[in-house]
Amino acid sequence: MLIGLPLAGYAQRPSRDNEKAKQWQSMENGPWDFAPDWYYYFLHNKYSGAEMYWKWAGFKSGFRVRFKEPKSSVKRIMPVRVTSEETQRQKVKKVEEERTHIEELYKEELLREADRNVDLTYASYKDEFNRMQGCITDGLLYCMKKSDGKLKHQVDELSRQNEILCADIAYIHKTGVGYGLENAKRQQAYEEAKAKMEELVRGGSYALLGHLQTKTEYESIMYTSDYRPAGHRREP
């Protein structure tokens, strides 16, 4: 039988360590103060920014210790952390803005690539190109025939220009990596090619006209032959 033995109930109580609390508060955003003061004065003077001063208090006068944050070699952590966090947020914001910008550029490039991979404008010019090529071929052959070969130099030059033009059109029509043009640029290029081809059609007519010397003789041949240059009409 246990008599007189005190039964001590050990309840968990929050113990407040004032010394640690002061240190944490000083490092964060609380008052700059440490304890025990003489301990920090002698052993952690640079860390705490401790300084000794005389305090007059009657019979309790004497030297005291106070702590000055400007004299500390570490300063508060919280302002530095807040600044660091804000700097990090700004960096993250900038990275996100750059990512969004790059993503928009990537989407635009995908649309351009899809546009370059399909020639949507060639169909509008194909028949006209074929018609004018037929006129050029027939016209140059007719020039050679009617001039008995005397226009060979002019015909060869027109043929060379026509071959270059056809190669340009074939290049414009190409699609795929390294060849694709946006359809707006393709259309502009086809318009320029069409104008050049019309010049070649007229070039054959002018060569024959120059050889025949007179417009009357030229027109009589045009109206009695199967060759009709583009845009040539009988006047009423």
Q: Are 75 and 39 in contact (CB under 8 A)?
A: no
**Spatial separation of the C-alpha atoms in residues 160 and 167, rounded to whole Å:** 11
Residue type, position 77, single letter: I
Tell me what the mean pLDDT of segment 220-234 comes to.
46
156-203 pLDDT tens trace: 888 999 999 999 999 888 877 666 678 888 889 999 999 999 988 887
Tally the domains of the chain.
3
Domain that holds residue 42: 18-71
Examine residue 203 and state whether it is found in any structural domain, yes or no: yes
196-217 pLDDT tens trace: 999 888 876 666 666 655 444 4
93-134 pLDDT tens trace: 888 889 888 988 888 877 777 777 788 888 999 999 999 999
Residues 128 and 205 in one domain: yes
Examine residue 84 and state whether it is found in any structural domain, yes or no: yes
Residues 133 and 189 in one domain: yes
**Spatial separation of the C-alpha atoms in residues 29 and 15, rounded to whole Å:** 22
The pTM assigned to this predicted structure is: 0.47
Residues 98 and 47 in one domain: no
Residues 128 and 216 in one domain: yes
Residues 129 and 97 in one domain: no
